[in-house]
A and B are shown apart, each in its own frame.
Chain A
């Protein structure tokens, strides 16, 4: 079974600064997907960034980038130029390619509450 660990329950950062959220996972799979989701007070889970394990290049989406270390099973999220609207709970998630016709299940970590301070 896969497990996802986020060891930082809470973090804070000053507006315009850079912050890194940590995530480690455990799997015996070779091909899989990793995600970071954001859950603001509105409760809607919003996809921030996605990484395919077979790609060595780290994914980037505007101010968001990841540091994917496959051998270490580490998947951290870097937020540059932090904005007040980035305040949210951030979840790291794992998805393994399923058998044909079965579910693509996301396994989530317990989350990191990020607060951006003015």
Chain B
């Protein structure tokens, strides 16, 4: 069990650029979650996958945000046409038991 892995740890981009983050969950976990955490706040839920099916995406912040989980393994979160307000830490979590989530160390996004 190597834990939930997120890549990259840090991303600096210019406003208007597209960015993509990757999350590799714990191998036997079928549930995968994306959260966003801004400075001084707790994480807020964005989207959820059970295996390859995205069962909840209404909390994605705008249509510039999209997520995929091909073949029910790793997941990607893409933000198109980034804005300064997108600067935050993006956390991925996975679980097998519905109540016990394991989080990665996050990707810190800075939009200049």
A residues less than 8 Å from B55 (CB atoms): 101-103
> Which residues of chain B (69-101) have a CB below 8 Å from chain A?
89, 91, 93, 95, 98-101
How far is A37 from B42 in the complex, measured between Cα atoms in Å? 10
- Answer whether A111 and B42 are a contact pair too, CB < 8 Å, given A45-B91, A101-B55, A102-B55: yes
Secondary structure at the B interface, as helix, strand, loop or mixed, is strand
Interface residues of A (CB under 8 A from B): 4, 33, 37, 42-47, 50, 91, 93, 95, 101-111
- Which of A4, A42, A106, A109 is close to B101, meaning CB atoms less than 8 Å apart? A106
Interchain CB contact (< 8 A) of A103 among B48, B99, B103: B48
Bound Cα distance A91, B106 (Å)? 16
Is residue B45 within 8 Å, beta carbon to beta carbon, of the partner chain? yes
Cα A64 to Cα B59 in complex, Å, equals 33
The answer to whether A109 touches B42 (Cβ under 8 A) is yes
Chain A residues whose CB sits within 8 angstroms of the CB of B56 once the complex forms: 102-103, 105
How far is B95's CA from A105's CA once the two chains are assembled, in angstroms? 12
In whole angstroms, what is the CA distance A44 to B104 when docked?
6
Q: Other CB < 8 Å A-B pairs besides A44-B106, A104-B48, A111-B41, 20 of them? A: A43-B89, A43-B106, A44-B104, A44-B105, A47-B100, A47-B102, A91-B43, A101-B50, A101-B55, A102-B55, A103-B45, A103-B55, A103-B56, A104-B98, A104-B101, A105-B48, A106-B43, A108-B41, A109-B42, A110-B40
